Amino acid sequence: MARRRTAARRYAEAAFDVGRSDGTLDRWEGDFAALREAMGSDELRAVLDHPGIDYPTKERIVRRVGTTLNTEALNLVLLMVRRGRPRQILPMTEHFAELLRRERGIARAEVRSAIALSPKDEAEVVSRLREMVGSDIELRVTVDPELIGGIAVRIGDQLYDGTVRSRLERLRARLTAA
């Protein structure tokens, strides 16, 4: 599994290097966004991953689906399919997006909240995180009722946990240790 993720990273880094050197990162970003949307189809993923379907058939399907992709992006996808790595297309596009965020100085914040955040609350969270991290923030919010209250934020490998659930667990640990 780690080897496959490494392959996805290598493909993403190659595309990123080409895009940066050619000044076409925005075009690659748009192509990979369209590709992520297309790969959201269970049927397409099943066809590309099916060992009984020959490569020429898969190539025709990819060319039909990828009519809006630039030639380089289309060729990269076809190469991945030809080499038996269609499952790595989505991880490759995700890693490319991460590389692009880093290039642009944007940190992705994964926020879990017990209740849905209002736009005003989201803006406040972004503002505080921007102060803490020192870069722009891309926010992804999910609702997790098991948190009881508060929020938990993950930026990269850092976790900021301000949930009621974690506070109760810490209190329980201190009471049982005493």
HEC sequence for the chain: CHHHHHHHHHHHHHHHHHHHHHCCHHHHHHHHHHHHHHCCCHHHHHHHHCCCCCHHHHHHHHHHHCCCCCHHHHHHHHHHHHCCCHHHHHHHHHHHHHHHHHHHCEEEEEEEECCCCCHHHHHHHHHHHHHHHCCEEEEEEEECHHHCCEEEEEECCEEEEEEHHHHHHHHHHHHHHC
Number of domains in the chain: 2
**142-163 pLDDT per residue, tens:** 999 888 888 999 998 888 888 8
Same domain, 87 and 47: yes
* 85 and 53 both lie in a single domain: yes
Residue 162: domain span: 105-177
Q: Are residues 9 and 93 in the same domain?
A: yes
User: Tell me, what's the pLDDT at 5?
Assistant: 67
Q: Are residues 36 and 92 in the same domain?
A: yes
Query: Does residue 58 sit in the same domain as residue 83?
Result: yes
Same domain, 140 and 85: no
More confident residue, 29 or 177: 29
- pTM summary value: 0.78
